[in-house]
Structure 1
């Protein structure tokens, strides 16, 4: 085990005594029922007004100290729970296979990459439900940075001693895994917004991702803060300042245009953005059309670069890209990405193998491979420096050609713009109840865009948003529902 990654085990034995397997099953079913209930409540939020109900406080769930023999899991496998591999060539799976076949110590269990739901919100619910039930079905979690606080403070994951005195990791991704002064997640993939521009079409609309999911929350936050308004403040970004400088906030949220990064020009933001997620907007950008409207610009994550560059339609006859990328010119982008976290319920014999795998996945070699072949943005300063200096590996297809993969020059450009965006990006609130805030804020912002929520109602949500970050459920609907504009 390397010196910079050492696990710390916390002795929580005896917390609930001997819990039998049927208790685990009951707890898991209860947690899943709660997930379905929350989803039903979210779906009902757009419906008719409901009778006023008192606000309630959410208590952290009790995590049972399940006996190891009853917690499930497979001793012969080290399970890495993650979302869909959205890279152009399933490169994460290839990295795991290389570890299993050539690099892992013989005594270590084989690692298994378990892909859960592609939806960030659903994946979080799946991981949390099993953790709350005391299950050790997952050993390592590839956790979205937005959910680290929830999983740390609720006891789903355990601290890791991470020695980064050499400043290997980028500051933002490193701090995203730090909760209450301890490191709970090792940076794995970084993310920050990029602006994509068609080079063969200078006139056209701008696409955001404003669908009713976490990407909608991210894009609405960016729309306000990149536009000169402010929603969040404080070291942990948990102070709601929505009511300050209301004119700036409202102007940014309702502006029909977006100023192009680094220019004085602007483009119309297409209303079709309300039905767009990351994948749908990439398709529309490729086709240069959405809902019959021409598309020339798009906000998306860096991984969209590879998804576009791998499509022959996005290259001209000389194999030059038909698009370019730019980092936002101002602060206000939202930091995304993921960390590698260790389940609190991992069996002791798996802990050292888990740390060895994490060490490999965050090595310069793997980080460069994930970037060049899959489009996952690195978390290591060293990798960016190599590409910015004209070095670093490019990715070649198995048949020896690199026609559909980014060239070294293209990767250098992508690395430069991505790093700049990451350094400017701001994290989402470090609250264990971020999910409640996200759902409420998105409902209010979407209501404004759908002409269903007035200015007065939108700014009246500030108190409810603050309450959501502190674990108070806002049940007196229809706040930010249909208020009869």
Structure 2
């Protein structure tokens, strides 16, 4: 069966800017990875954790830091919406709304890989570059960028009560606001309505989405991985039986029911996009698919496909939020580079105000599927009064109806309010890689129960900036 994608997808796929860095930036990324993982020795859970000094950020003279004075560069990931709506919003700002003296905003799409994008942004920030003025940061990376001095605090001027609490707190580090909520994310369960008895798809590929899904597999299943106010305490061994049972379970309990469905092993090769394609086609690796865990933005990707609508245009799938336990909080914030030139600071704040306005947040939701961060927008949709998408580009994309948007808004808000953040550690990336390697090893039958729980000390060390010693913990030899 031929896979359907919305118009313009090939052109957007080619927009990655990884090649723009060249060999110099690649070396910078490697240096950053090496420096941030300096070891303080093997983990000693029963001893006080040492204070880890962040990497130094050079005081590069402003005239030598790079950048274009005529442009306000917004560094972000690939626009995965069905109509490049983020780019439309930036164009509207430049054409009609930008104050005459402000530099034009430029949306610079970096790698579509969250991990690579983080390394790109961090490498330039550590080098003192002002090539990026505003960063669209995944909420998981805010602590790293704040404590390492890559971004600066931003004053919300008493308007913080506009935002949902989870996304707002995700941008707060050590009592200061470093990121303004831009897009919220939390897991939703998608169900096909074709009456077939198929399996459940997760995204367990070897990237950050794999980490998120393994965390959810354990914690939605009744186990425990993280604890503490900042979620930086490792609790794997506090409930070992429940944790192991949840991780090893071959079934997922369905939202709002007591039923369950088999989790397909094909999930180990799935990321967000691949699972959406498999869900549309109703099969993965020859196995029928009836359920999928994904982000809210997948709703628009599905609703825009004619195959996912009946002849009367009703959707052939449904969507539900988790009802008993929360998943992992995702999403992004808008942050201002520590190295932004002084003349661009006020324009950057004006652009951020526009991008977090009710008008823009509703458009990003209705036309692109990006979940809002403003309470007001959810209340409007849940009350039946939110705007639907009015496209001006002549595309043949089928936009969700107002009723469909109202249902999506209600389920998304439920999930966001239940969701829990990832650890607020500047060394979260180290934890993520190690935890995912161990969890994948269990699923691949390469890692024993004993070895998995022996990773507690190494995981604690990773969150404190210490790398494990030379033991093959959770590697092939660790079974």
Q: Deviations over 1:41-72 (max 9, x none)?
A: 9xxxxxxxxxxx95499642110010000000
Task: Quickly say closer, same or farther: Cα 1:28–1:482, change in 2 above 3 A.
Answer: closer
Q: 1:458 aligns with which of 445, 452, 457?
A: 452
Superposition deviation, residue 399 in structure 1: 6.9
Tell me how far apart the structure 2 counterparts of residues 78 and 440 of structure 1 sit (CA, whole Å): 37
Residues 97-136 of structure 1 mapped to structure 2, 5 A cutoff = 97-136=91-130
Task: Quickly say closer, same or farther: Cα 1:399–1:483, change in 2 above 3 A.
Answer: closer
Q: Deviations over 1:158-182 (max 9, x none)?
A: 0011134562000000000000000
Superposition deviation, residue 32 in structure 1: 2.4
Report which stretch shifted further, 319-328 or 158-167.
158-167
Q: 1:296 aligns with which of 290, 295, 300?
A: 290
Tell me how far apart the structure 2 counterparts of residues 364 and 290 of structure 1 sit (CA, whole Å): 39
Task: Quickly say closer, same or farther: Cα 1:231–1:484, change in 2 above 3 A.
Answer: closer
Alignment pair present for 1:209 and 2:203: yes
Alignment pair present for 1:180 and 2:174: yes
Match of 1:373 in 2: 367
Residues 252-271 of structure 1 mapped to structure 2, 5 A cutoff = 252-271=246-265
Tell me how far apart the structure 2 counterparts of residues 89 and 38 of structure 1 sit (CA, whole Å): 39
Match of 2:466 in 1: 472
Residues 162-311 of structure 1 mapped to structure 2, 5 A cutoff = 162-164=156-158, 167-311=161-305
Q: 2:28 aligns with which of 31, 50, 53?
A: 31
Contact 2:472/2:478 (<8 A) preserved? no
Match of 2:324 in 1: 330
How many positions carry a matched residue from both structures?
450
Contact 2:42/2:458 (<8 A) preserved? no
Tell me how far apart the structure 1 counterparts of residues 294 and 241 of structure 2 sit (CA, whole Å): 27
Superposition deviation, residue 477 in structure 1: 3.0
Alignment pair present for 1:145 and 2:145: no
Task: Quickly say closer, same or farther: Cα 1:266–1:75, change in 2 above 3 A.
Answer: same
Contact 2:42/2:461 (<8 A) preserved? no
Q: Deviations over 1:339-362 (max 9, x none)?
A: 000000000000000000000000
Superposition deviation, residue 74 in structure 1: 0.2
Q: Deviations over 1:123-148 (max 9, x none)?
A: 00000000000000000000000000
Q: Deviations over 1:213-239 (max 9, x none)?
A: 000000000000000001101110001
Match of 1:339 in 2: 333
Match of 1:446 in 2: 440
Match of 1:384 in 2: 378
Tell me how far apart the structure 2 counterparts of residues 331 and 164 of structure 1 sit (CA, whole Å): 32
- Tell me, which stretches of 5 or more residues in structure 1 are unaligned? 1-24, 42-52
In angstroms, what is the RMSD of aligned CA positions? 2.2
Tell me how far apart the structure 2 counterparts of residues 33 and 245 of structure 1 sit (CA, whole Å): 37
Q: Deviations over 1:186-239 (max 9, x none)?
A: 000000000000011341000000000000000000000000001101110001
Tell me how far apart the structure 1 counterparts of residues 23 and 287 of structure 2 sit (CA, whole Å): 51
Tell me how far apart the structure 1 counterparts of residues 395 and 71 of structure 2 sit (CA, whole Å): 35
Residues 38-77 of structure 1 mapped to structure 2, 5 A cutoff = 55=42, 59-77=53-71
Tell me how far apart the structure 2 counterparts of residues 454 and 363 of structure 1 sit (CA, whole Å): 50
> SS state of the match for residue 450, structure 2?
helix
Match of 1:11 in 2: none
TM-score by length of 2: 0.90
Contact 2:35/2:55 (<8 A) preserved? no
Task: Quickly say closer, same or farther: Cα 1:111–1:484, change in 2 above 3 A.
Answer: closer
Contact 1:395/1:402 (<8 A) preserved? no
Superposition deviation, residue 28 in structure 1: 5.8
Task: Quickly say closer, same or farther: Cα 1:36–1:465, change in 2 above 3 A.
Answer: closer
Superposition deviation, residue 482 in structure 1: 1.7
Match of 1:50 in 2: none
Contact 2:160/2:168 (<8 A) preserved? no
Match of 1:45 in 2: none
Contact 1:136/1:345 (<8 A) preserved? yes
Residues 4-15 of structure 1 mapped to structure 2, 5 A cutoff = none
Alignment pair present for 1:93 and 2:90: no
Contact 1:194/1:418 (<8 A) preserved? yes
Q: Deviations over 1:437-479 (max 9, x none)?
A: 0000000000000000000000010111011000001132310
Tell me how far apart the structure 2 counterparts of residues 421 and 374 of structure 1 sit (CA, whole Å): 19
Report which stretch shifted further, 27-36 or 244-253.
27-36
Tell me how far apart the structure 2 counterparts of residues 166 and 216 of structure 1 sit (CA, whole Å): 32
TM-score by length of 1: 0.89
Alignment pair present for 1:422 and 2:419: no
